[in-house]
Amino acid sequence: MSVRKAFLQLDYLIEPACGPEADLVDAYWQMANPGLTPQAFTVLTDGCCKLLLQRQPNQEPELILSGVWTHAFEIRLPAATTLLGVRFKLPAVEFLCPSQLPLNATRPLPLTEGLGPALLAAHDLADLARRVGDWAASRHPAPAPRALFAALYASHGTLPVSQLAAAAGWSARTVNRYFQRQFGLSLKTYADILRSYAATQQLRPGDLYAVGAYYDQSHGIRDVKKHTGATPRQLDQHRHDRFIQLSPPLPPEQ
């Protein structure tokens, strides 16, 4: 079921992946700026890669692959623009990108290749989820990467590298080579990203420390600030006007 978010003047919908495609897909989303002025906001690094379809009046649609980001980054959504997006877990990369995933960067993709036609044909969020879900459900990662990422996502990046490598049946050196080759960063860096993002999702007004993610509060604050550029208090204060992933859901429409 899709969730409508309250954020700036945007029409923002998210639908979590919950079917057989969930090994590869984290969520689907749609964002529209129907106004006459651009809307700027900050995207927190979440450890996923994204496939985005941007539509603007009187322009050809644009398909963009966004790699993993090691830090928060700014987005400026032009007026009268709609984005359709898929948030992919990293096991999907072998089916999306024949070369190394761009790190802290985006890459344009041809509309006629891969998932381009499916995104271009989608007329709403539910249709996007159906089309991409069918694609993802028919693709299966190799056993070792699948076990590795299952351990990573289940633990939100809190397990040591040695334990994550053991889950895949690899050595720590092999798993780090795999991460550098495929994604351009180390496994430790990626695990830190997952842990930091999980901590931001646990922040609640009046309770700004995510229990369980870090050894102590000061460690948690330092790590969250490293990856988001903001303290937990600042993240909480700007849920509605800066950090889009922290925006609260709107009540269901009657």
CATH code, 159: 1.10.10.60
More confident residue, 190 or 253: 190
Q: Point out the domain boundary residue: 137, 165, 190.
A: 137
Say if pTM beats, i.e. exceeds, 0.75: yes
Instruction: For residues 122 and 163, state if they share a domain.
Output: no
Instruction: For residues 11 and 127, state if they share a domain.
Output: yes
CATH number at residue 43: 2.60.40
Give domain status of residue 32, yes or no.
yes
Report whether 91 contacts 173 (CB < 8 A): no
Average pLDDT, the chain: 91
Instruction: For residues 120 and 10, state if they share a domain.
Output: yes
Q: Point out the domain boundary residue: 137, 172, 203.
A: 137
How far is residue 211's CA from residue 208's CA, in Å, rounded to a whole number?
A: 9
Give domain status of residue 180, yes or no.
yes
Give domain status of residue 250, yes or no.
no
Banded model confidence at residue 254, pLDDT cuts 50, 70, 90: very low
How far is residue 246's CA from residue 198's CA, in Å, rounded to a whole number?
A: 11
Instruction: For residues 181 and 150, state if they share a domain.
Output: yes
Quick one: pLDDT at residue 233? 87
Instruction: For residues 52 and 126, state if they share a domain.
Output: yes
More confident residue, 208 or 59: 59
Burial of residue 178 (CB within 10 Å: 0-12, 13-18, 19+) is middle
Q: What is the CA radius of gyration of the chain?
A: 18
How far is residue 229's CA from residue 202's CA, in Å, rounded to a whole number?
A: 17
- Both tokens of residue 227? 């990856």
- Both tokens of residue 29? 């989303």
Report whether 84 contacts 14 (CB < 8 A): no
Quick one: pLDDT at residue 208? 60
Please state the rounded mean pLDDT for residues 81-108: 93
Instruction: For residues 113 and 154, state if they share a domain.
Output: no
Instruction: For residues 115 and 182, state if they share a domain.
Output: no
Instruction: For residues 104 and 221, state if they share a domain.
Output: no
Quick one: pLDDT at residue 219? 80
Q: What angle do CA 93, 97, 103 make, to 5 degrees?
A: 75
Give domain status of residue 73, yes or no.
yes
Amino acid letter at 60? E
Instruction: For residues 77 and 101, state if they share a domain.
Output: yes
Give domain status of residue 11, yes or no.
yes
Give domain status of residue 229, yes or no.
yes
Burial of residue 120 (CB within 10 Å: 0-12, 13-18, 19+) is middle
Instruction: For residues 133 and 7, state if they share a domain.
Output: yes
* Domain ranges, residue 85: 3-137
Is residue 6 pLDDT above 60, yes or no? yes
Give domain status of residue 249, yes or no.
no
The share of the chain scoring above pLDDT 70, in percent, equals: 96
Instruction: For residues 173 and 131, state if they share a domain.
Output: no
How far is residue 145's CA from residue 125's CA, in Å, rounded to a whole number?
A: 29
Quick one: pLDDT at residue 206? 62
Instruction: Give per-residue pLDDT as tens, 102-124.
Output: 999 999 999 998 899 999 999 88
Q: Point out the domain boundary residue: 137, 164, 180.
A: 137
Give domain status of residue 252, yes or no.
no
Please state the rounded mean pLDDT for residues 23-29: 96
Instruction: Give per-residue pLDDT as tens, 165-216.
Output: 999 999 999 999 999 999 999 999 999 999 999 989 888 766 666 555 677 7
Banded model confidence at residue 223, pLDDT cuts 50, 70, 90: confident
Q: Give Cα separations from 87 to 52, 99, 116 (angstroms).
A: 9, 19, 15
Overall domain count for the chain = 2
Q: Phi and psi of 3, rounded to 5°?
A: -120, 125
Instruction: For residues 164 and 98, state if they share a domain.
Output: no
